[in-house]
């Protein structure tokens, strides 16, 4: 029998949301708390046990402002996506919050850029692409769960990768390092978060064969 407190574990897993408007921009994030969360994330799996995670943590106000300026150049892309989602209120709300974040990213106390100390070759086969990004994203999610357990929130974002080279130049990231995401990190305003709306699990599962009779199309 497992000795985990399932109520707590399930609440952590089901209420770790993309936090944007409830990030507390006025409260500093202590470096040791972030290091604890990254230490926990190092238990995540990596292909062939490569462990090529690297984390660039930006808390310098000027660099955050400059990074925020680059990120804000993605606002037209968010507005465009928002128009495409005009018919879907849930997705429109997501873009509304994404826009809010893009207008203030540089004010978030900590910007974390999870990286990999390797590059995906152009035209890499699926197995290599999956093994490469699959060796950083589990750690990123562990990091986000650890943050939530300590009263901090974050959002997984990739918008800045539209401007990968500019961010590389700003922060001195070497050419053989891959940026995988950018996470704004801050304490949250309030600690209560609700599970997001998701379809019934049966509608996304198939047993044994994709085309088994009776399974959802
Ligand atoms: C691969 C990926 C890319 C994402 N990129 C962005 C982004 O650029 N900007 C942003 O604000 N949110 C971004 N998100 C966050 C999603 O919008 C969010 O996870 C989704 O809407 C679900 O929200 P929830 O976790 O609160 O339910 C991204 C998430 C993933 C997994």
pLDDT of residue 46: 98
Nearest residue (by CA) to ligand 1, atom 22, is: 18
Protein residues whose CB sits closer than 6 Å to any atom of ligand 1: 17-18, 94, 98, 101, 155-159, 196
Over 80: is that where the pLDDT of 170 sits? Answer: yes
Over 70: is that where the pLDDT of 56 sits? Answer: yes
Instruction: Say how many Å lie between the first and final Cα of the chain, rounded.
Output: 36
pTM of the model: 0.96
The predicted-structure confidence for 197-217, as pLDDT tens digits, reads as follows: 999 999 999 999 999 866 665
pLDDT of residue 86: 83
pLDDT of residue 140: 99
pLDDT of residue 160: 98
pLDDT of residue 217: 59
Could you give the C-alpha distances from 189 to 27, 80, 152, 160, in angstroms and in order? 10, 29, 9, 25
Q: Beta strands 53-58 and 110-116: pairing type?
A: antiparallel
For residue 17, report the distance from its CA to the centre of ligand 1, in Å.
Answer: 9
Within 73-125, where are the H helices? Answer: 75-84, 89-102
CB 151 within 8 A of CB 187: yes
For residue 214, report the distance from its CA to the centre of ligand 1, in Å.
Answer: 32
Q: Compute the average pLDDT of residues 61-77.
A: 98
> String of b and e for 163-175 (b: at least 16 CB within 10 Å)?
beeebeeeeebee
Q: Could you tell which of 134, 158, 196 is best to mutate to test the pocket of ligand 1, judged by most ligand atoms within 8 Å of the CB?
A: 158
Cα 214 from Cα 6, distance rounded (Å): 32
Q: Compute the average pLDDT of residues 185-207.
A: 97
Looking up tokens 């990254």 gives: 38
Class of 29-188 per CATH?
Answer: alpha beta
Domain ranges for the chain: 29-188
Over 90: is that where the pLDDT of 16 sits? Answer: yes
Cα 177 from Cα 117, distance rounded (Å): 5
What does pLDDT average to over the chain? 96
The predicted-structure confidence for 87-104, as pLDDT tens digits, reads as follows: 898 899 999 999 999 999
Looking up tokens 């390092």 gives: 177
Cα 155 from Cα 70, distance rounded (Å): 17
Over 80: is that where the pLDDT of 116 sits? Answer: yes
For residue 210, report the distance from its CA to the centre of ligand 1, in Å.
Answer: 28
CB-neighbour burial class of residue 63 (10 A; exposed 0-12, middle 13-18, buried 19+): middle
Cα 45 → chain centroid: 17
Atom number, ligand 1, closest to the C-alpha of residue 160: 8
Instruction: Please name the residues in contact with 15: beta carbons below 8 A apart, sequence gap of 6 or more.
Output: 148, 193, 194, 195
């Amino acid at each position: 029998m497992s000795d985990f407190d399932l109520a707590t574990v399930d609440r952590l897993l089901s209420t770790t949301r993309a936090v944007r408007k409830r990030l507390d921009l006025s409260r500093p994030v202590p470096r040791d708390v972030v290091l604890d969360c990254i230490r926990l994330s190092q238990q995540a799996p990596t292909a062939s046990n490569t462990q090529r995670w690297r984390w660039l943590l930006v808390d310098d106000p000027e660099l955050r402002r400059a990074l925020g300026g680059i990120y804000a150049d993605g606002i037209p892309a968010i507005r465009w996506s928002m128009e495409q989602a005009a018919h879907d209120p849930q997705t429109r709300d997501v873009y509304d919050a994404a826009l809010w974040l893009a207008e203030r990213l540089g004010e978030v106390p900590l910007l974390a850029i999870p990286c990999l100390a390797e590059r995906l070759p152009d035209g890499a086969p699926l197995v290599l692409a999956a093994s490469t990004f699959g060796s950083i994203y589990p750690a990123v999610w562990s990091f986000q769960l650890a943050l939530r357990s300590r009263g901090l929130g974050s959002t997984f974002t990739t918008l800045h990768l539209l401007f990968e080279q500019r961010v590389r130049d700003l922060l001195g990231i070497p050419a053989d390092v891959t940026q995988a995401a950018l996470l704004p990190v801050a304490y949250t305003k309030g600690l209560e978060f609700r599970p997001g709306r998701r379809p019934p699990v049966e509608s996304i599962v198939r047993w044994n064969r994709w085309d088994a009779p009776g399974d959802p199309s």
